[in-house]
Structure 1
Amino acid sequence: MQATWQDMAIDDSARPLPSVRIYEGAARLKSPPLVLYLGGGAFQQAPLPATESPVARALADRGAVVVEADYGGEVRNTFPQAMEYVFKVLSCLSNRRKLFGSAKSSLFVAGQEAGGNIAAGVALKARDQIPGQLAGQVLLSPMIDPLMTSGSFRKASEIGMLQRWSQGWSHYLRSACGFSHPYAAPCLCSRLAGVAPALVMTAEDDPLKDEALSYAKRMAEAGVKVEQRILPAGQGWTDMYRGEGGAWIDVVCDEFAAFTSKLKH
């Protein structure tokens, strides 16, 4: 089933939220996980990409209901507008689970690269404003440290991403409060206790590996349930930065299934 972009109605009195894309598959579960998904693009992607996200489609084909939010549209990939828009979508999904999944559907936020940053920021805001509503966060190579000084980040130029990531951070954090705000750069947040359980994935040849693992470690030290997975080098993981899929997507789906299963016990 091809997913198409549409506006999401909140209620009869409010303006619909713009540009979400809903993925469902033939194997939809009875009480499917409800996943708010945020794609990558280094905070520079164009609005409304025509092609489906390989990760979102794969998760839907495994039984989840996936809602992709376009944070590059009206809110233009900038903080705080992009994060606030995504949080509104999350709140809407939380309040209307039966419409998209079922009353028993667990709610997750997932994102890759720049989308992983916003997913982490939204998880922090969900802890602060709608505690207990978010079951988990899935961070796939989150672009989470604007300082860009980690050891693994030295590989960024090797895959042609150094300038793109630098420009992306400058664009996203151009507001006066951007750089120091914990929702904008969650790796700088000093209070991580109570945030939703996390699945953090990266790869040995990923330039964002060190910042992803550092954030996972800090969450675990704060008492957050954290699952982390590091794929071997050469698995095509960094193809995600070009919007490409690969065998690693099956690994993501397997890890997500295991993650959700553990949260039920």
Structure 2
Amino acid sequence: MPSSIRPSSAWPDRLELPGQPPMRLRVQGDRRTAMGRVVLHLHGGAYTSGGLDSGACLAGLLADAGAMVVSIAYPLAPEHRFPDAVEAGHAALEWVHANRTRIAGAKARVFLAGEEAGGNLAAAIALMARDRAAPPLAGLVLVTPMLDPCTATASQREAAGEQVQCRFAEGWKQYLRSPRDAEHPYAVPAYAQRLAGLPPTLVLAGEDDPMRDEAMAFAGRLQQAGVSVHTGLIPATGWPASLERPPEPCPCAVAVQEQFARFYAAPVPQPS
């Protein structure tokens, strides 16, 4: 369900940052209800497809829950393999942080969010921001995150049935330069040896979601690492396909917005 808040024309529609390919940009939200929150949002598409329009549903839900949302169309595989999208996303995060006051007002806090492949990228960018000590994050939102290149969990098998190949497995093949890339924590954060120091994280999956098991497993690892984690299983979502092509009205919109609003409002460490 697209946001009731129209994208702002006060910002350029393209982000051009040093050393990065141009990225389409969309800013939406209402500063009167954003409460000093700005979210950098990354769309899904199995690393190889998608963009601002296919990610509009989740971006709208994030905005309607009370935030200014900056969505980017990051570079896609196979033209841009790992780590191109992660580096571009981190550069965009630095841009958002530098412009947070203009976007969301004084003392604005920056969140990072992504769905499906964008969820994996968001987790990787959060690790990169931790390791580079910049920029500070108030929270991380992962919705039906695509975290496991093996694509062999029970929820994946339930969704695929007897199908041998799927778009997620193919997406991983196109994204990673070689199987050894799967050992890099920025490529597959779910395999990272050190998760401590990540910001408070909200992990949402659908009960009928092929990424359900890998999402909940990652949430468990975050908790073991001492990260503040909030989880939610939403019934009958049709995720991740329904995020790209949402029905009208979106049956899970209210539940998802409530999760976002509670997470935004939860006490979080203040950026330094």
Give the TM-score normalised by structure 2: 0.84
For structure 1, the 5+ residue unaligned runs are: none
- Report 1:184-263 matches (<5 A): 184-232=187-235, 234-240=236-242, 242-244=244-246, 246-263=250-267
Q: Which moved more, 1:69-78 or 1:205-214?
A: 69-78
Aligned pair count?
A: 260
Which letter maps to 1:23? Q
* Mapped pair 1:81 → 2:62: no
Q: Which residue of 1 aligns with 2:117?
A: 114
* Cα shift readout 1:93-123 (whole Å, capped 9, x = no counterpart): 1122112112311111101110100001011
Aligned counterparts of 2:168 and 2:224: Cα–Cα separation in 1: 28
Which secondary structure state, in structure 2, belongs to the residue aligned with residue 120 of structure 1? Answer: helix
* Mapped pair 1:129 → 2:132: yes
Aligned counterparts of 1:117 and 1:251: Cα–Cα separation in 2: 22
Q: Which residue of 1 aligns with 2:28?
A: 23
Which letter maps to 2:90? F
Which secondary structure state, in structure 1, belongs to the residue aligned with residue 183 of structure 2? Answer: coil
* Cα shift readout 1:173-204 (whole Å, capped 9, x = no counterpart): 12575221101101110100111110001122
Aligned counterparts of 1:110 and 1:161: Cα–Cα separation in 2: 30
Residues 130 and 102 of structure 1: CA distance in aligned 2, closer, same or farther (over 3 Å): farther
Q: Could you tell me whether the CA contact under 8 Å between 2:201 and 2:229 is conserved in 1?
A: yes
Q: Which moved more, 1:76-85 or 1:185-194?
A: 76-85
Q: Could you tell me whether the CA contact under 8 Å between 1:71 and 1:86 is conserved in 2?
A: yes
Which secondary structure state, in structure 1, belongs to the residue aligned with residue 33 of structure 2? Answer: coil
How large is the Cα RMSD of the aligned pairs?
2.8
Task: Tell me how far 1:74 sits from its aligned partner.
Answer: 9.4
Residues 77 and 211 of structure 1: CA distance in aligned 2, closer, same or farther (over 3 Å): farther
Task: Tell me how far 1:55 sits from its aligned partner.
Answer: 1.4
* Mapped pair 1:67 → 2:70: yes
- Report 1:94-105 matches (<5 A): 94-105=97-108
Identity over aligned residues, as a percent? 35
Q: Which residue of 1 aligns with 2:3?
A: none
